[in-house]
């Protein structure tokens, strides 16, 4: 059996591993990111100064192209957007970044609660559908249909219902959950049911019960897919929370801030843009947390589909 | 000696996706005794894997009777009387080698201490003691299949069903695995039922080779392999080894004839 170990020699630490060549892959990622940002900045500011130099109009072969989209009202300078963070939104108020930070935390809290409710609901639906063909065939079309209804149409009704049962605080999380349960149901269902037939036969050969088959085979088999869904849901929950704030009249979150700065847009366009930057940052952070959790949980190499 | 597996007039038909009926197995009669090593050999589609899965109660026969350890196949499965080794190793990606071997023991509710001890013991048996904490993808195909054999033996079943376990391995690895398997069979006294495509493998390992004919799957011939034991690399050089190989080959070739029973002389 000595020779059988030979193909696995690379498993052992080799002489090269003790003195590894420097790993440039991380550095390359950072350089790429910086380069992409630089390209955006150059394009953004370049288009603006080009448009201004041409008086926001361009004549090409007798056709007039309107460039007014690049004026300072409709597309502020990046420097102005960045500067807006440090100026007070209201006279004698705190600088905008403080306002936005507390709004972002408020919205993130709603989004996380909605994410949690949606993930649990989506997971349970997938478990039920996995074990009952009848319920899957009967209910899955409605689950799909639920996502065809615009969230903007549903949100005001949820707010009214929740107010009626005196659970107004739950209105926004429920609206966020409405967007987040769907990917979890679809991906988890696929993960639970896409078990290779022989792996299922193996469990049958042990006379394993349904519970054991679920926890020892279906669930671990589905985890990579479930995490894919959770990453989608994390960002969708932030969008859901912001949209949910609009009809519920909540002023404390990013939705309220967007509504507010939208109303007074002409008096300070960069404030709305700064708020958008803040909302995007919240989504990216939440996504990052889920991605990090995935790396801690899914530690095995996923088999390539054969 | 009493038969540990007894198959009488067993037939399996199923409806193919295009609607017409397929005769997978037709009137199979076979008695397998305690401690035997039986190979099922035949061309693709002769139903040898189906027969194995029926013995393991993973598929239900259409008609006929079948007893395993003196009970129904279903009861034998519930009593965990057999281990099953699949063509691909069927290891769970998310479990380390040791945890994969422990899987049946977890399902059968062995204590943690016993699980760990048995996994160590079995991995030692297949000479993978140093790989406990590796993941399946870190092992070669042959090593993965050895883990899968260790897993099948971990709860000490009396019967081992194997469905072309070495089919995907290269010739050298396959011969080494054959020796390993014979050693395990010798030491543990398990009854092996082994599906294969390979004539030398079937002859080298078996006490009897069962040749199946295709469409419908029928039992064409049973060939006794009375080569001396213990068998080793030198067995493959014996004249009798070649004679038995050509007998099996003849039985397989005979299947091409219209009556399905003609056997070539050598």
* pLDDT tens-digit readout, B218-252: 898 999 999 998 898 899 999 999 999 999 999 98
**% of residues, chain A, pLDDT over 90:** 67
Task: Please state, in angstroms and rounded to a whole number, the distance separating the CA atoms of residues B200 and B211.
Answer: 13
Q: Do B108 and A206 touch (CB under 8 A)?
A: yes
> A207 vs chain B: nearest CA distance in angstroms?
5
Count other Cβ atoms within 10 Å, centred on residue A58. 13
For the segment A26-76, what is each residue's pLDDT rounded down to a tens digit? 899 999 999 999 999 999 999 999 999 888 888 888 888 888 888 888 889
More confident residue, B15 or A119: A119
Mean pLDDT for A126-144 is 94
> B214 vs chain A: nearest CA distance in angstroms?
23
Q: Which of B55, B89, B93 to mutate to test the interface with A (most CBs of A within 10 A)?
A: B93
Residue of A nearest to B180 (CA): A1
**% of residues, chain B, pLDDT over 70:** 95
> A213 vs chain B: nearest CA distance in angstroms?
9
The ipTM estimated for the assembled molecules is 0.89
Q: Do B138 and A8 touch (CB under 8 A)?
A: yes
Candidate from B58, B137, B140 with C-beta closest to A205: B58
> What is the pLDDT at residue A54?
87
pLDDT band at B15 (very low <50, low <70, confident <90, very high): confident
Residues 6+ away with beta carbon under 8 Å from B121: none
* Tokens matching residue B149: 């054999």
Whether residue A16 is predicted with pLDDT greater than 90 in this model: the reply is: no
> What is the pLDDT at residue B266?
31
Residue of A nearest to B135 (CA): A300
Question: Is residue B244 within 8 Å of residue B223, measured between CB atoms?
Answer: yes
Q: Do A198 and B87 touch (CB under 8 A)?
A: yes
Judge whether A300 is closer than 8 Å to chain B, CB to CB: yes
Judge whether A206 is closer than 8 Å to chain B, CB to CB: yes
Whether residue A19 is predicted with pLDDT greater than 80 in this model: the reply is: no
Residue of A nearest to B57 (CA): A205
> B143 vs chain A: nearest CA distance in angstroms?
8
Candidate from A8, A198, A204 with C-beta closest to B90: A198
Class (C level, CATH) for A96-297: mainly alpha
How much is the mean pLDDT over chain A? 88
Residue of A nearest to B153 (CA): A206
Mean pLDDT for A138-143 is 94
**% of residues, chain A, pLDDT over 70:** 92
> What is the pLDDT at residue B242?
94
> What is the pLDDT at residue B265?
33
Judge whether B134 is closer than 8 Å to chain A, CB to CB: yes
For the segment A213-245, what is each residue's pLDDT rounded down to a tens digit? 999 999 999 999 999 999 999 999 999 999 999
> What is the pLDDT at residue B100?
96
Task: Please state, in angstroms and rounded to a whole number, the distance separating the CA atoms of residues B37 and B209.
Answer: 9
> What is the pLDDT at residue B264?
35
> What is the pLDDT at residue A13?
45
Judge whether A164 is closer than 8 Å to chain B, CB to CB: no
Whether residue A11 is predicted with pLDDT greater than 80 in this model: the reply is: no
pLDDT band at B19 (very low <50, low <70, confident <90, very high): confident
Residues 6+ away with beta carbon under 8 Å from B126: B146, B147, B149, B150, B180, B184
Contacts of A208 in chain B (CB under 8 A): 107
Task: Please state, in angstroms and rounded to a whole number, the distance separating the CA atoms of residues B71 and B77.
Answer: 10
- DSSP assignment letter at A88: B
Q: Which residue has the tokens 């197995």?
A: B25
Residue A249 half-sphere exposure toward CB, CA atoms < 13 A: 4
> What is the pLDDT at residue A20?
66
Judge whether B86 is closer than 8 Å to chain A, CB to CB: yes
Structural domains of chain B in order of their starting residue, each with its CATH number: 1-81+159-168+177-266 (3.40.50.300), 89-156 (no CATH)
Residues 6+ away with beta carbon under 8 Å from B89: B136, B141, B144, B145, B147, B148
For the segment A251-283, what is each residue's pLDDT rounded down to a tens digit? 899 999 999 999 988 888 999 999 999 999 999
Question: Is residue B245 within 8 Å of residue B203, measured between CB atoms?
Answer: yes
How much is the mean pLDDT over chain B? 90
Query: Which residues does residue B192 pair with via DSSP β-bridges, in sequence order?
Result: B37, B160
Contacts of A8 in chain B (CB under 8 A): 138-140, 143
Q: Do B86 and A202 touch (CB under 8 A)?
A: yes
Judge whether A195 is closer than 8 Å to chain B, CB to CB: no
* Residues composing chain A: 306
Contacts of B177 in chain A (CB under 8 A): none
> A205 vs chain B: nearest CA distance in angstroms?
6
For the segment B201-219, what is each residue's pLDDT rounded down to a tens digit? 999 999 999 999 887 888 9
Contacts of A304 in chain B (CB under 8 A): none
For the segment A286-302, what is each residue's pLDDT rounded down to a tens digit? 999 999 999 999 988 66
């Amino acid at each position: 059996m000595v020779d059988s170990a030979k193909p696995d020699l690379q498993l052992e630490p080799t002489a090269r591993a003790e003195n590894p060549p420097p790993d440039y892959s991380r550095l390359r990622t950072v350089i790429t990111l910086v380069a992409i940002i630089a390209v955006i900045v150059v394009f953004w500011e370049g288009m603006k100064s080009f448009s201004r130099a041409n008086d926001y109009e361009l004549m090409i072969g007798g056709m007039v192209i309107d460039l007014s989209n690049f004026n300072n009202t409709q597309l502020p300078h990046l420097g102005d957007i960045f500067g807006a963070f440090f100026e007070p939104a209201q006279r004698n108020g705190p600088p905008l970044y403080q306002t936005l930070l507390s709004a972002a935390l408020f919205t993130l809290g709603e989004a996380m609660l909605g994410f949690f409710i949606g993930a649990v609901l989506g997971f349970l639906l997938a478990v039920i559908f996995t074990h009952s063909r009848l319920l899957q065939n009967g209910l899955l079309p409605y689950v799909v249909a639920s996502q065809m209804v615009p969230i903007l149409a549903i949100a005001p009704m949820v707010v009214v219902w929740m107010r009626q049962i005196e659970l107004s605080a739950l209105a926004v999380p429920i609206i966020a959950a409405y967007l987040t349960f769907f990917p979890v149901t679809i991906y988890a269902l696929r993960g639970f049911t896409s078990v290779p037939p022989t792996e299922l036969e193996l469990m049958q050969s042990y006379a394993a019960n349904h519970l054991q088959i679920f926890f020892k085979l279906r669930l671990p088999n589905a985890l990579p897919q479930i995490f894919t869904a959770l990453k989608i849901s994390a960002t969708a929950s932030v969008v859901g929370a912001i949209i949910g704030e609009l009809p519920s009249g909540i002023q404390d979150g990013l939705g309220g801030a967007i509504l507010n700065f939208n109303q007074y847009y002409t008096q300070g366009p960069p404030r709305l843009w700064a708020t958008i930057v803040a909302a995007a940052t919240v989504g990216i952070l939440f996504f990052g947390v889920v991605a990090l959790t995935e790396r801690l949980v899914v530690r095995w190499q996923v088999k390539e589909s054969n | 000696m009493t038969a540990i597996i007894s198959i009488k007039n067993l037939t399996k038909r199923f409806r193919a996706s295009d609607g017409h009926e397929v005769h997978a197995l037709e009137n199979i009669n076979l008695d397998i005794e305690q401690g035997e090593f039986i190979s099922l050999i035949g061309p693709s589609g002769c139903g040898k894997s189906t027969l194995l899965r029926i013995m393991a109660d993973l598929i239900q026969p259409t008609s006929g009777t079948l007893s395993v350890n003196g009970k129904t196949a279903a009861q034998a499965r519930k009593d965990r009387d057999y281990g099953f080794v699949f063509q691909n190793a069927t290891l769970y990606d998310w479990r380390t080698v040791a945890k994969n071997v422990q899987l049946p023991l977890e399902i059968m509710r062995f204590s943690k201490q016993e699980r760990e001890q048995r996994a160590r013991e079995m991995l030692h048996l297949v000479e993978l003691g140093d790989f406990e904490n590796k993941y399946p993808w870190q092992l070669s195909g042959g090593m993965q299949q050895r883990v899968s054999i260790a897993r099948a033996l971990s709860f000490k079943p009396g019967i081992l069903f194997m469905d072309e376990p070495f089919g995907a391995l290269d010739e050298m690895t396959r011969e080494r695995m054959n020796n390993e398997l014979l050693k395990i069979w010798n030491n543990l006294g398990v009854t092996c039922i082994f599906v294969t495509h390979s004539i030398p493998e079937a002859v080298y390992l078996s006490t009897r080779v069962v040749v199946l004919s295709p469409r419908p799957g029928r039992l064409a011939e049973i060939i006794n392999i009375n080569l001396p034991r213990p068998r080793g690399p030198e067995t493959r050089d014996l004249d009798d080894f070649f004679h038995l190989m050509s007998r099996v080959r003849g039985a397989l070739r005979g299947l091409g004839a219209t009556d399905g029973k003609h056997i070539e002389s050598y």
